[in-house]
Structure 1
Amino acid sequence: MKKIDLKSLELPELKTVLAEMGEKPFRAGQIYQWIHQKKATAFEQMTNLSEALRVRLQNECELSAFQIADCQISKMDGTRKYAFLLSDGNIIESVYMKYHHGVSVCISSQAGCRMGCRFCASTLDGLARNLSAGEMLEQVYAMERDTGERVSHVVVMGSGEPLDNKENLIKFLRLISDDQGGGISQRNITVSTCGLVSEIRSLAKERFGITLALSLHAPNDELRRTMMPVANRYTIAETLAACDFYFEETGRRMSYEYSLVRGVNDQPEQARQLAGLLKGKNCHVNLIPVNPIREREYRETMAPEVERFKKELEKSRINVTIRRRLGADIDSACGQLRRRIQRGNMREGG
């Protein structure tokens, strides 16, 4: 019998499970507090529960606590990149970054990815499976336990396409922002997508207070199709219309991610095309010099060209920043650490 993943349950669902066990509703509140506020990793830690209930929970339920498979710590800025081992042997990765405004973490939504973006290592071996809401949460909680620091900002931008796992993503967003749960303000949560149009529109109707970040990376459809297979399904016009709908439904300013690739999408004319697409929109552009990966020919744009691209956008009064690059001396591109560990495990096993 498959065990119940308690970390993936919202409080009303947990009350139902406890009621079916013959327990009173307040027990669900106690367990919920142990999981989300005290970050318990084992049922024996829940000392205000009876021993009989703890034994039953152990037999019938699970907490999806992770084992750290690897942790790289940048000597430059203290950024930590974690590889977590899941119960089925899959590896996922998460990043811990300390800023003056607090601690920000970047988490994965899937083990692997099937979107095929050419600049991303996450997609090289395809999609293994979706992560549960509890497994998404546990990345945040595991980093808090390991560092002793409270996380204030969460970005769902690691391995995987969050909107390809929308049902679990929505449950995660409710749990991480619940005052009795994770307690992180929705205004401090960002979800990144490569542009699944129908899912963007569906997420908009949830009316979350989160920031949605679109991975745009090109100012025209022809170029975008060479970089991102999703562009074969949706045009930029369709995608931006969905983003406009998201803004109308939520009132939250859109963020557009643009990874600059040397000689591919970083020319002044392409900056002017991008400005034409976004001029007049309530949005923010985040310029990201691409993290090179061995398996692809893409190389990062150098700092003077990045600044030149930024100034072209600013001429059209577009709000634009250059992402501060953290963890440059470790496996910083999405999917690099996970892939290195999994390939090492394959060699050892065979």
Structure 2
Amino acid sequence: MRAILDLLPEELPGEGYRKAQIAHWLYARGALDFAEMTDLPKALREALDREWRISEFALVEAYPSRDGSVKYLFTLLDGKKTEAVYMPYENRKTVCLSTMVGCPAGCSFCATGALGFGRNLTAAEILSQILAIAHHQGISPREIRNVVLMGMGEPLLNLQNVLRAVRVMLHPKGLALSPRRVTLSTVGIPKGIYRLAEEDLGVRLALSLHAPDDETRRKIVPTAHRYPIAEILEAVRHYYAKTKRRVTFEYTLLEGVNDHLWQARLLAKLLKGLSAHVNLIPFNPWEGAPVEGTPKAGILAFAEELRRLGVPTSIRWSRGQDVGAACGQLALKVPRPLTFKPTLEDAGR
């Protein structure tokens, strides 16, 4: 049985009109069972059910946070697990998706990195996260208007599957997202950044920098031993020249490691001339973490120093920390699951 979400809308089974109907059921109505597609001929529905599957999950577990966000734990069909986070805001609904089981990057401040690498997710498994979350929330998948590929994994090391999933997200008969509503986060893989630029999808790029100098970065980001900051920034400049999309620089503040004001000044110097925005991230604690986060006063001082030097800066105060859903906490460890299986019986929820 094949994964139907691995297909672009124009590749779906059936003739042109039927392809459009199937795409509408999948991405506008969020169907998780072919029997729901009542305007398709019965014979076609039965054939689809024999040959194709919609959901890529054996089980979905939902962990609601006090702040309204929800962490989702997905058991894949091979028994491996990954996670995503739903974050509703007043004027938008955002999902943070994973692109891998675990992560090979191994950043010292990230619980996912401590898990190590499991495997890449397929395009269908990436997209299925959106459909499962929308189903559980009782909304259309197209009501989710912001997607950030910032969950488990390094997207640029799974680029073929990520690109295919993003094309479905942007496709007018898919999720119909605006490119500016899709953000891809990377620890800095220059070859992948160049490839992403050449694909010219127009999505936003977020670079997990976390230090303004190679010496500090090597202490907390293992990939920095292979890719120096200068090489990464050269690729980022190419990306901006090609796409005209401002690049976000993610920076997790760690006490006594990368939070000195001289490092803020060096960061400002490093980004001079770039169309950049710095997103400061308070460290979200997790069991066994070898680092500690910068206190709030230090975070505010670091932000103020960057702003004083003309660098657009914001602080991303994390959501979902009480259920292990905050940035850097995804590690398959959360309490008291509310579970559901993605079946037809759940469709009315």
* TM-score normalised to structure 1 length: 0.90
Say if 2:97 and 2:126, in contact at 8 Å, map to a contact too: yes
- Per the alignment, in what secondary structure is the counterpart of residue 165 of structure 2? helix
Is the counterpart of residue 285 in structure 1 residue 283 in structure 2? no
State the shift of 1:216 in Å: 0.1
State the shift of 1:48 in Å: 2.1
Q: 2:214 aligns with which of 205, 208, 221?
A: 221
Is the counterpart of residue 110 in structure 1 residue 100 in structure 2? yes
Q: 2:130 aligns with which of 130, 140, 157?
A: 140
Is the counterpart of residue 7 in structure 1 residue 5 in structure 2? yes
Task: Name the residue aligned to 1:313.
Answer: 306
Is the counterpart of residue 31 in structure 1 residue 22 in structure 2? yes
State the shift of 1:200 in Å: 0.2
Task: Name the residue aligned to 2:145.
Answer: 152
Moved segments of 4+, more than 3 Å = 65-69, 333-338
Q: 2:197 aligns with which of 200, 204, 216?
A: 204
Q: 1:324 aligns with which of 317, 320, 331?
A: 317
In structure 2, distance between residues paired with 1:195 and 1:138: 26
Is the counterpart of residue 189 in structure 1 residue 182 in structure 2? yes
For residues 122-152 of structure 1, the C-alpha deviation after alignment (integer angstroms, 9 at most, x for no partner) is 1222221111112111111211111124211
State the shift of 1:13 in Å: 2.1
Task: Name the residue aligned to 2:249.
Answer: 256
Say if 1:68 and 1:82, in contact at 8 Å, map to a contact too: no
In structure 1, distance between residues paired with 2:321 and 2:329: 12
In structure 1, distance between residues paired with 2:238 and 2:26: 36
CA RMSD of aligned residues (A): 1.8
State the shift of 1:336 in Å: 4.4
Say if 2:248 and 2:277, in contact at 8 Å, map to a contact too: yes
Structure 2: 5+ residue stretches without partners: 336-349
For residues 269-293 of structure 1, the C-alpha deviation after alignment (integer angstroms, 9 at most, x for no partner) is 1111111101221110000011122
Task: Name the residue aligned to 2:73.
Answer: 83
For residues 295-326 of structure 1, the C-alpha deviation after alignment (integer angstroms, 9 at most, x for no partner) is 22211111110011011111220000011221
Is the counterpart of residue 180 in structure 1 residue 180 in structure 2? no
Is the counterpart of residue 58 in structure 1 residue 49 in structure 2? yes
State which drifts further: 159-168 or 60-69. Answer: 60-69
Task: Name the residue aligned to 1:345.
Answer: none
- Per the alignment, in what secondary structure is the counterpart of residue 158 of structure 2? helix
Query: Which AA in structure 2 matches 1:332?
Result: A
**Structure 1 residues 156, 5: CA separation in 2 closer, same or farther (over 3 Å shift)?**
same
State which drifts further: 97-106 or 219-228. Answer: 97-106
Say if 2:324 and 2:333, in contact at 8 Å, map to a contact too: no
Point out which structure has higher relative CO (alpha carbons under 8 A, 6+ apart). Answer: 2
- Per the alignment, in what secondary structure is the counterpart of residue 117 of structure 1? coil
Structure 1: 5+ residue stretches without partners: 343-350
Query: Which AA in structure 2 matches 1:190?
Result: T
Say if 2:73 and 2:332, in contact at 8 Å, map to a contact too: no
In structure 2, distance between residues paired with 1:103 and 1:326: 14
Count of residues paired in the alignment: 333
Task: Name the residue aligned to 2:339.
Answer: none
* TM-score normalised to structure 2 length: 0.91
In structure 1, distance between residues paired with 2:324 and 2:226: 31
In structure 1, distance between residues paired with 2:82 and 2:328: 8
Say if 2:107 and 2:221, in contact at 8 Å, map to a contact too: yes
Task: Name the residue aligned to 1:233.
Answer: 226
Say if 2:246 and 2:276, in contact at 8 Å, map to a contact too: yes
